[in-house]
Amino acid sequence: MKSTVFLSSGSSRQAPFLFLIIVIFLLLLAACGPAKKYAGPYLPDEEIAVIQPDDKMFTHINIISVGKNRLATNENGIAVLPGTHTLFLEVVLDYPFLDKYLYFNQYLTFTAEAGHHYTLHASILPMRDEGFTWITTDRDPEKFIVKKYALGLIPLSTYP
């Protein structure tokens, strides 16, 4: 009998704390969605396209801007209207055994379709002094939507 009273009284003290944890988790989950980069009201997923960088180890992809819309540094994915978009990218190779970082900037233009989720991939080949980017879609991950090469990588001694 005493253990039942103890458990019920302990859980009533923890209820506000548990509620607070759930609210914070839901707010963080809502903030992790793609950032809206188009003018107008929020639209359902079937009417927009989502572009997200690949999370490949040692190769960091930063989308600097989409058209004239500059992105914040912490944005991971972006939502855009269907149509042709030009992305300005920064790709950095952060490999632990290299004595410096290699990077390149590149413009990449492609046509987004409504309801598609696009993944932006990149690779840097330090021995060949070149890199390349490509975009795939969730509907056909093996097909390249667009692919572009970058020659003349730029070495950096430090990367923020």
**109 has pLDDT over 90:** yes
pLDDT digits (tens, 9 = 90+) for 64-90: 888 888 877 666 788 889 999 999 998
The pLDDT value given to residue 39: 54
Q: How confident is the model at residue 97 (pLDDT cuts 50, 70, 90)?
A: low
Q: Which residues contact 90 (CB under 8 A, 6 or more apart)?
A: 61, 62, 64, 103, 104, 105
List the beta bridge partners of residue 59. 93
At 70, which amino acid appears? R
Domain boundaries, the chain: 1-32, 37-156
Structural tokens at position 67:
């058209």
* Amino acid in position 55: D
Report, as an integer, the average pLDDT of 17-36.
62
In the block, tokens 């914040």 appear at 72
Residue 105 has pLDDT above 80, yes or no: yes
Is residue 78 classed as helix, strand or coil in its secondary structure?
strand
| Least confident piece of the model among 19-33, 71-85, 136-150 | 19-33
Q: What is the mean pLDDT of residues 97-120?
A: 86
> What integer pLDDT is reported at residue 103 of this predicted model?
83
Comparing CA positions, the residue from 83, 89, 100 lying closest to residue 53 is 89
